[in-house]
Amino acid sequence: EALHLLAASAWLGSLLPLMLCLRRLPASQAAALCQNFSPIGIGCVLLLAASGLAQGMELVGTLPALVGTQYGHIVLLKITLFLVTLGFAARNRLTLTDRLFDAGAETARRQLVHSIGAETLVGLAIVLAAGFLASTTPGAHEQPDWPFPWRPSLAVMTEPELRREVVISACLVGACLAVVAGTLVWRRGRAVAVLLALGVIAWQAPSFGLLVVDAYPTSFYASPTGFNAAAIVHGQALYAAQCADCHGTGGQGDGPASAGLRIHPADLTAGHLWDHPDGDLFWWIGHGMRDPEGGVAMPGFAAQLSEADRWDLIDYIRANNAGTALRMESARSLPPAMPVRCAGNSASQLSDLRGKVVLVITAAASHVTGPPVIPPQDGFPVVALYLTGRRPNQGCVAETPDARAAFAITAGLSPSAPSVPGYLVDPDGWLRAILPQDQVSKHPERLVATIRTICDHLGGAAPSDEHAHHH
């Protein structure tokens, strides 16, 4: 920020004295002055661009925030004004300064003075825009409203045939652009090369259309819940009241009302759920979905569910999907976030225990025989986390009454299923295993073997807090 301020001061602060000197000095000295000023101006511009980019990446954050927030709109205005000043500066240096040596030096001098004056005014407008930015919430801290009817998506790249089509199209277009670049260097055949490139781009455009999907104003909204246990459990109750009739108790789309519907409800346990961001789900739950003929495929629930309710419902849908995958396919699932208290440990959230194997115990500490103290496995400490009961002398205890129910959901266990004694969360923060009773209390050697197996097969990046629930 200091470098950005100094560069702006040196550039804009020099324009007024430069303009005054140009009005007074002889043409030859004025031309020399402009030439000597150029290195200073270029250095300031490069420093402004680099420091502005660094600030923008931190404060704006993403492309959706750039085009979908008030802060981003002001940044776009500031960038546009900056490009305008660059245009003035380029004209001043590359055109008008050279004319100071010609016969029409006085005309060039007047034009140069006017151009520098206009550049100064635009620069002051940039300073004004920066002042508005200083009092506006950064785009990285706002929910961006996506203004376009489509958004980029790489989901198609998971399909081999479609991926091959996109790659071939990209190679063809890239080759044509390389030919165009070659003709610019050799100064031959430019028109033919450009026409060829335009033809290939038009021919391959449908393939690149595979890389965009329908979008909605909330497509890039991020869930504010942090996937916490209370949200998941509340979302389960909302699902039972609002969604189970059509989508079924387990989410397979087989609810009692589904038989009478022209469009079968979506299977919310299918893997393709993860192709849709939280923002799309938020829009569909609030505003409904249309079928290909324009009819109502799913009604909207904005009148019945508040925004907070919709986010909790999304958490449950994600957790139920990940739990089904964990139970059926031995996948990884993100455990619910929750506050914890630990003996001899400063951790205050479950995520603070990453880097350790977490042995999750569902029963109260006083009702569990064991678990035994397990030494570190493959260099990873083993910590016990009790979901109910008072804090033990060692290990941790969850500080939310929803911990047990939320873990059951993310493990794919139905509310009517018998309670399991525990789970294992690996050092990367993934929920990896549901433990049978004998591993917790009767056969600790089996528990140790399971922990070792998990530690030997980590390999997954640590989950983020933005719904990286399974893979």
d(CA 289, CA 259): 18
Of the chain, the end-to-end C-alpha distance in Å amounts to 40
Token pair of 38, please? 């150029």
pLDDT, residue 365, reads 44
Q: Which H/E stretch holds residue 214?
A: strand 212-214
- Answer whether 384's CB lies under 8 Å from 340's CB: no
Report the SS3 class of residue 351.
helix
User: What number of helices (H) and strands (E) belong to the chain?
Assistant: 15, 10
**Entry pTM:** 0.82
268's tokens: 């919310």
Residue whose tokens read 């600030």? 55
Question: Taking every pair of C-alpha atoms in the chain, what is the biggest distance, in angstroms?
Answer: 101
Q: How far apart are CA 235 and CA 172, in angstroms?
A: 48
Neighbouring residues of 172: CB distance < 8 A, sequence distance ≥ 6: 200, 204
Query: Which DSSP state fits 258?
Result: G
Q: Which amino acid is at 56?
A: G
Residue whose tokens read 């301020």: 5
Given a contact cutoff of 8 angstroms between Cβ atoms, the answer to whether 351 and 464 are in contact is: no
From CA 221, how far away is CA 413, in angstroms rounded? 29
Report the C-alpha gap between 155 and 349 in whole angstroms.
33
So what's the pLDDT on residue 470? Answer: 45
CA 27 → CA 15, 32, 218, distances in Å?
18, 9, 58
Phi and psi at residue 55, to the nearest 5°: -65, -40
CA distance 238 to 215: 25
Q: Which of 383, 422, 426 is nearest to 403 (CA)?
A: 422
Give the model's pLDDT for residue 462: 58
pLDDT tens by residue, the chain, 471 residues: 899 999 999 988 998 898 888 888 887 788 888 888 888 888 888 899 999 999 889 999 899 999 999 999 999 999 999 999 989 888 888 888 778 777 677 888 888 888 889 989 999 999 999 999 989 999 999 999 999 999 998 888 888 999 999 999 999 999 999 998 888 888 788 888 889 889 999 999 899 889 999 999 999 999 999 999 999 999 999 999 999 999 999 999 999 998 888 888 999 999 889 889 999 999 999 999 988 787 888 999 999 999 999 999 999 999 999 998 888 776 788 899 999 998 877 889 999 999 999 999 887 544 444 556 788 888 899 998 988 766 567 788 999 999 999 999 999 887 666 677 889 999 999 999 888 766 666 667 888 888 888 888 886 555 655 554 444
258 contacts 264 by C-beta, under 8 angstroms: yes
**Structure token digits, residue 263:** 């469009």
Q: Name, in order, each residue with C-beta under 8 angstroms of 467's C-beta and a sequence gap of 6 or more.
A: 223, 227, 278, 318, 334
Give the up-direction half-sphere exposure of residue 39: CA atoms within 13 A in the CB hemisphere.
Answer: 3
Query: 361 - beta bridge partners?
Result: 386, 422
Q: What is the Cα Rg of the chain in Å?
A: 31
Residue with tokens 């680099």: 50
**E strand intervals along 330-454:** 340-342, 357-361, 382-386, 396-398, 422-425, 431-435
The pLDDT of residue 237: 95
How would you classify the pairing of strands 340-342 and 289-290? unpaired
For 269, the 3-state DSSP assignment is coil
| Secondary element (H or E) of residue 49 | helix 27-59
- C-alpha–C-alpha distance, residues 437 and 448, integer Å: 14
Closest CA to 413 of 400, 398, 423: 423
